Structure 1
């Protein structure tokens, strides 16, 4: 199980998340995006339709009739009704349920850095967990920092 910590320092989540989602879909995977607040989920829904002038990311919000068919599902809890093996925690809150997936993307900003550090340390001794820490450089590109 791989956990990738993404420290948002230059680009906002709205620019970083679609890139990750696009890569997951391009590899044939499915993604569950988790945010506790309904307002954030609604904004992400709109974002994924319009993130690129050339394309959109097929997705839906959890609770619909076609949840199981959605390649990307936006939900308030880490329950993958779409069968996703990849999870993106986008509200800065680590959830232990993420360890039940093959890969977790944990996005956080400066407001949540303390919580992210605690999660990083808490996963250090977990058997079968590989951690990566990604930080944005001055140009907004991701660099592996740990």
Structure 2
């Protein structure tokens, strides 16, 4: 199980998340996107339809279509109704249920850095969990820092 911590500094979630989602879907995988607030889920739903003029990323919110066939599913909790093996926690809140997936992407900003550090430390002793910390360099590119 791999957990990737993404510290959002220069690049906001609305630019980072579609890149991750595209890579997961292009590799044949499925992604569950978790955000507790309905307004954030609605914004993500709109974003994934419109983030780039030439892109198409099929997705739905939990319960709004046939969840089982969705390559990307947006949900309020860690409920992989689409049988995803990848989960993106996008509201800055770590959930231990993410450890049931093959890979977790934990996005957080400076407002949630304390919680992210606590999650990082808590996962240090978990058997079978590989942690990676991604930060942005001066050019805005992601680089692995730990």
- Distance in 2 between the 1:25 and 1:98 partners? 18
Partner of 2:121: 121
Tell me the CA shift for residue 53 of structure 1: 1.1
Partner of 1:142: 142
- Distance in 2 between the 1:28 and 1:65 partners? 20
Matches within 5 A, 1:61-100: 61-100=61-100
The number of equivalent residue pairs is 146
Query: Do residues 55 (structure 1) and 60 (structure 2) align?
Result: no
- Distance in 1 between the 2:27 and 2:40 partners? 26
Query: Do residues 2 (structure 1) and 2 (structure 2) align?
Result: yes
TM-score (norm 1): 0.98
- Distance in 2 between the 1:55 and 1:113 partners? 31
Matches within 5 A, 1:103-122: 103-122=103-122
Q: Pairwise CA RMSD of aligned residues?
A: 0.6
Partner of 1:24: 24
- Distance in 2 between the 1:23 and 1:134 partners? 16
Give the 4+ runs in structure 1 shifted more than 2 A: none
What do the CA deviations read for 1:87-136 (whole angstroms, capped 9, x no partner)? 00000000000000000000000000000000000000000000000001
- Distance in 2 between the 1:97 and 1:58 partners? 24
Structure 2's unaligned 5+ residue stretches are none
